[in-house]
Amino acid sequence: MITLSLAHLAHAVGGDLRLAGAQTPDTEVSGLVDTDSREISAGGIFVAKPGEVTDGHEFVGAAVAAGAAVAIVEREVEASISQIVVADAVTALADLARVVVAQVRARGDLRIAGITGSNGKTTTKNLLARILEPEGETVAPRASFNNEVGAPLTMLRVSDDTRFLVSEFGASAPGEIARLAGLVEPDLGIVLMVGMAHAGGFGGIEATFHAKSELVRALRPGGLAVLNADDPRVAAMAPIAAERGVNVRWFGRNSTADVRADDVVVTADGTQCTVVIGEESRAMHLRVLGEHHVMNALAAIAAATAWGVPLDACVERLESVDIAERWRMQPLGSDRVRIINDAYNASPDSMAAALRTLAQITGPNERTVAVLGAMSELGEYAEEEHDRVGLLAVRLGIKRIVVVGAPARRMYLEAIAQGSWDAEAVFFETADEAYDYLLGELRDGDRVLVKSSNSAGLRFLGDRLGESFS
């Protein structure tokens, strides 16, 4: 974070400064900001955020022991540290992010990109950061830091030397993207797709469209919206961009896209394609598994080339990426039994893409095995969408369908109803039961997909299988 005096810090968050020790209002702080006392280091700023399970105020002492210089709290606690008392710690975090980013922007050459979409945000964020890092200091979220806490924490990592800030904006309800993107007014916004992820919270696909379009509305006038030409709902955001005085750059497989991919070939070693921008074209071998990641790569290339990064450099840097993120199409196991652990997030669209990838990369003498768990946050659409996944698995000819957990049982029932028999589809209540079954069931030549939402916990099952068959 940039250097601020305690007085300036208190003013930024609208709080009451309570000094401790030898500190004065002019004492300067510049350490990293965090809500987790375990991540605090010397000179850090600890934000004591109350939570549903734990209260950050109980960990102020741990933050002091780790070297925190000041704590932002909702109530003063007994601790040998200066404290800034605010009405709401999360609001204070957002206010501080707004002030810090504005100061860096005013003093330097900071460019800000925002990314949203029902799927692919984290992968695209990582790909874009990989392209930009050699161009200058780049700040991007850790893991999926894309909510009301994670996004401001990422923003607060900028310094006066930061050239690029890549922000990921997730949401489970309308208005959240508008609030987060509104903190920084991005110069460039990427909208990947509008799908059924979080449809339960939004209230349907049209509400999801309006929520994702909040990023386009939050862009600075004269900025750039990087939009998916293959998704009609994303394409429908172009008029919104025009109203805001924002330019549009299209990416996709569509021949009309400004940045497109031709000749896409999917293999077990990744995806090959030709990236085309106008009269320029380059062959690319993307090692991240899954044809759907070509779109994420195109979005990153569209953004980076708009900011002056040559296409050759974009392709070279993307080809060096072998995994988008842990638990996202992560190859584990061995050539004998390959495990693909993609169980960090799941939506109807990403579930379908992962199953198709499994079918595409499995050879004629190999067997497909899908280990599937529940998709969360679908609300009233949950039963229908779980049915669709079971049906798709059968239609793709997946040889073994292993469904885990009561919330996912509809997948199993639909697979049975659609013609899966003779133990082709099995159901287990727990991941431990599924693990025991798979240890005895998997054999040489199997290609295994483990896919579920984070809440289902199958990512740890994927890890266990990866270790057992490594």
pLDDT per position as a tens digit, 37-46: 999 999 999 9
Q: What angle do CA 22, 35, 37 make, to 5 degrees?
A: 65
CA distances from 77 to 22, 52, 69, 71, 81 (A): 18, 19, 15, 10, 9
Q: How confident is the model at residue 199, as a pLDDT?
A: 58
Mean pLDDT of 192-203: 70
pLDDT digits (tens, 9 = 90+) for 137-154: 999 998 778 899 999 999
- Quote the CA–CA distance of 269 and 331 in Å, as a whole number: 10
> pLDDT grade, residue 201 (50/70/90)?
low
Q: Given this model, what pLDDT does residue 245 score?
A: 96
pLDDT tens figures, 275-307: 999 999 999 999 999 899 999 999 999 999 999
Predicted confidence at residue 246, as pLDDT, reads 97
**257-to-248, 277, 306, 459 alpha-carbon distances in Å:** 11, 9, 14, 35
**Topology (CATH level 3) of domain 4-86:** 3.40.1390
**The domain over range 108-318 is classified in CATH as 3.40.1190.10:** yes
Give the angle subtended at the CA of 54 by the CAs of 52 and 60, to the nearest 5°. Answer: 135
Condensed to tens digits (0 to 9), the pLDDT of residues 335-372 reads: 899 999 999 888 899 999 999 999 999 988 899 999 99
Residue 268: is its pLDDT beyond 90?
A: no
Predicted pLDDT of residue 67: 96
| Mean pLDDT of the region 186-195 | 95
Is the per-residue pLDDT at 420 higher than 80? no
- What pLDDT score was predicted for residue 133? 98
Q: CATH assignment of 330-468?
A: 3.90.190.20
Write out 324-392 in H/E/C secondary structure: CECCECEEEECCCCEEEEECCCCCHHHHHHHHHHHHHHCCCCCEEEEEECCCCCCHHHHHHHHHHHHHH
Distance of alpha carbon 170 from alpha carbon 93, whole angstroms: 17
Q: Are strands 16-18 and 425-428 parallel, antiparallel or unpaired?
A: unpaired
Q: What is the dihedral of CA 96, 99, 100, 104, to 10 degrees?
A: 170
pLDDT at 421: 59
**Structural domain boundaries of the chain?**
4-86, 108-318, 330-468
Strand (E) or helix (H) holding 285:
strand 280-286
Q: Considering the chain, what percentage of its residues have pLDDT values greater than 70?
A: 97
In this structure, what token pair is assigned to residue 102? 């504005």
Alpha carbon distance 134, 337 (integer Å) = 36
pLDDT, averaged across the chain: 93
pLDDT for 448: 97
What is the reported pLDDT for 137? 97
**Which pLDDT score, from 0 to 100, does residue 174 have?**
85
The answer to whether 4-86 and 330-468 have equal CATH topology is no
pLDDT digit string, tens, across residues 88-110: 999 999 999 999 999 999 988 99
pLDDT of res. 344? 87
Q: Which of 58-62, 134-138, 452-456 has the lowest mean pLDDT?
A: 452-456
Output helix, strand, coil percentages for the chain, rounded to the nearest 5.
40, 25, 40
Helix (H) or strand (E) segment spanning residue 413: helix 409-417
